[in-house]
Every structure is written in structure tokens, then in C-alpha cells.
Chain A
Amino acid sequence: MVSSPFREGMAKGFPFVVILVPFGALFGVLATEAGLTLTQVMAFTSLVIAGASQFTAIQLMVDDVPAAIVILSALAVNLRMVMYSASLAPHLGPAPAWQRVIIAYLLVDQTYALSQSAYDDNPAWSLRDKVAFFAGTALPVFPAWVGSTLIGALLGAQVPESWSLDFALPLAFLALVGPMLRTRAHVVAALVSVTAALALAWVPWNLGLIFAALLAMAAGAEMERRA
């Protein structure tokens, strides 16, 4: 049997469903508890499709932070997507415009990481193969995310108080950050972020988080430059 790039992408994308389902369901639950309607939760998750930034926004919305700061903080989480887009552009840039419009919509951590490494491993792939592989990775990932959010949103009100779901978000974020600490520069950036965020907690409107993030990015970049 000849394995097509599309099928290969699907097979590689499938294991991520295990991670996405609880994460998506948790977003559904927390967003519903925060007071969003089912329509709002689903619009949120299918228009933004970027878990960590959605959680960031919900957390800040519950704290009654001004909308501009919520957006700024949440978009800062997603700035790395610029890097994903730039790094896939040499491979997918020549695709027809309508395909690029859809690819951009489906460009998330998982589809990016899998495609980047597959393109590196298969330099002989044609544009068609590359697009097919990308589509393959997105096929299991996207419905799993949207579907699990829906389940979480429907369950939302039925989760008992005694489960202490307030702790689920910090827990999920800590576990998310763990594997990202690949180099000393990443570790330094994370430490600066924590220290500055705690030290600047008094700054109004959660702007302390934005300052902490800027300091941390600069620290990580500087560490990398010196290494």
C-alpha cells in the first residue's frame, strides 16, 4: 500500500487528540462557568482556535480586566504564530490563495510542528504533497478541539464545586509550559516572567503581565544571542 502524505499527516495528527480533548473540554467548562453562553463559547473556540490564549482571556475576563488588556495579553500568547507562518511560508507560500486562507486558519502548534518536521524529512515532496500533509494533520486536530469544547460547555453547569476546578487552569498551564523549557534561554525567559509578574502584580489592569512578558521575551532572546 502506498502511503500518501495526507494519510501520513492524519496518522501523525491523531495522537494529539488525547491532549486536545481534555484541554478543549476544560475550556468549555470554564468559559461556561465564567458566564459565556453556548453560542459565545463555540464562537470563541472556533474563531480563535488557540487554547492557551483562550484560557488567558477567560481568566482575565473573570477578573474584570478591561477588554483592551484582555486582548493584548491573549494576543501576546499567540505572537509565536507569526513565527510559524514565516517558517512554513517557503513551503506553502506558492499554494493557491484559497488554500492559503484555509491553511492560515488551521495553523496551530500541532499542525505547525508536524508539518515543519515532515517537510524537513521529505525534501522531495511537491507543493501538493506538502499541502496534503498539512491538511492531514489538521483533520483530526480541529474537530477534536471544537467537539471537546462543545462537550465541556454542555457539561459546564454540572461539574460539582468540590472538584476545585479553579486549580485546573494553573495545572494545565504548568503542564503545558514544562515541555516548552527546551533550552536555558527558555528557562530564563520563564523565570523572568514569573518573577516580574509577581513583583508587578500591583500594576493596575493587569498591565504587569504585559510588562513581565516583554521583559521575559527580551531576556530569552538575549540569552540565545549570547549562547
Chain B
Amino acid sequence: MSDSYIWGIIAVMGLGTYLTRFLFIGLIGDRPLPAWVLRHLRYTAVAILPGLVAPLLVWPAATGGTPDPVRLVAGAAALGVAYWRGSMVQGVLAGASLFALGQILT
């Protein structure tokens, strides 16, 4: 990674993220967004995060891309507990404990 690559990404992401936050509060004001736009924006996070995480979980680089049962089970536990309890912290704790246990046992 070159310095210009890293700084370029930091600068554009910083500016881009700021503009998404500033857009309505700072520029457009209280004119409401069309319903169809809001409908799509509501799903941006659940549309990209699962897609990003899936290959990391199914084909982990640490195992040379071979599916690892311990990671799969721990990942499922993290998602399941976080969903069930509505808590990210509890999800991470559940997944991390199972992963640690799996590392010790295997």
C-alpha cells in the first residue's frame, strides 16, 4: 500500500461521509425525501455488511480459503445471539467464547 493510496482513501471517504451527513441538515433543509428513496436508504447497511462478511466467514484467508467449522459455528452464534438479544456486545461475546473454545479443542 502506498502512502498516496492510503491518504487518498482517507480524504475522499472523510469528505464523502461528511457530505452524506451534511446534505439535509446543512444544505437541503427540511424538504422531505421521496418515499422510494427513503425505502432504499433504510437497507444500505444490511445490504452491504452481510455481503462483505460472508466470504470472510466461508473462505477465511487464515485457513487458505477452506471453510473452517469452528469459524462457521462461532459466526452463526454471534449473529444468532446478537439478533435474539438485540445486543452487539452479547453477540461478540458469544461468538468469541465459542471460537476460543474451538481453538482449544481442535
Query: Which residues of A pack against B, CB within 8 Å?
Result: 18-19, 22, 34-36, 40, 43-44, 47-50, 52-54, 56-57, 59, 61, 64, 67, 70-71, 73-86, 88-90, 92-93, 97, 100-101, 103-105, 107, 164, 166-167, 169-181, 185-186, 189-194, 196-198, 201, 209, 212-221, 224-225
Contacts and interface: CB of A to CB of B under 8 A. Distances in A.
Interface of B: 1, 5-14, 16-18, 20-26, 28-30, 32-33, 36, 38-62, 71, 74-75, 78-84, 86-92, 95-96, 99, 103
Contact of A57 (B13, B39, B43, B49): B13
24 contacts: A18-B89, A36-B1, A44-B10, A48-B17, A70-B9, A71-B12, A73-B52, A78-B17, A79-B41, A85-B21, A85-B22, A86-B23, A164-B62, A169-B56, A174-B53, A174-B91, A175-B90, A177-B49, A178-B78, A178-B81, A178-B88, A180-B46, A191-B50, A194-B50
Contacts of A101: 22, 26
A77 B29 contact: no
A197 B71 contact: no
> Which label, helix, strand, loop or mixed, suits the secondary structure of the A interface?
helix
B22 A104 contact: yes
A197 B29 CA distance: 36
B8 A67 contact: yes
Contacts of B23: 82, 85-86
Nearest to A212: B51
Given A18-B89, A82-B41, A164-B99, A213 B51 contact: yes
A86 B44 CA distance: 15
A218 B40 contact: yes
Nearest to B38: A83
B82 A179 contact: yes
A69 B13 CA distance: 11
Contacts of B47: 76, 189-190, 192-193, 212-217, 220
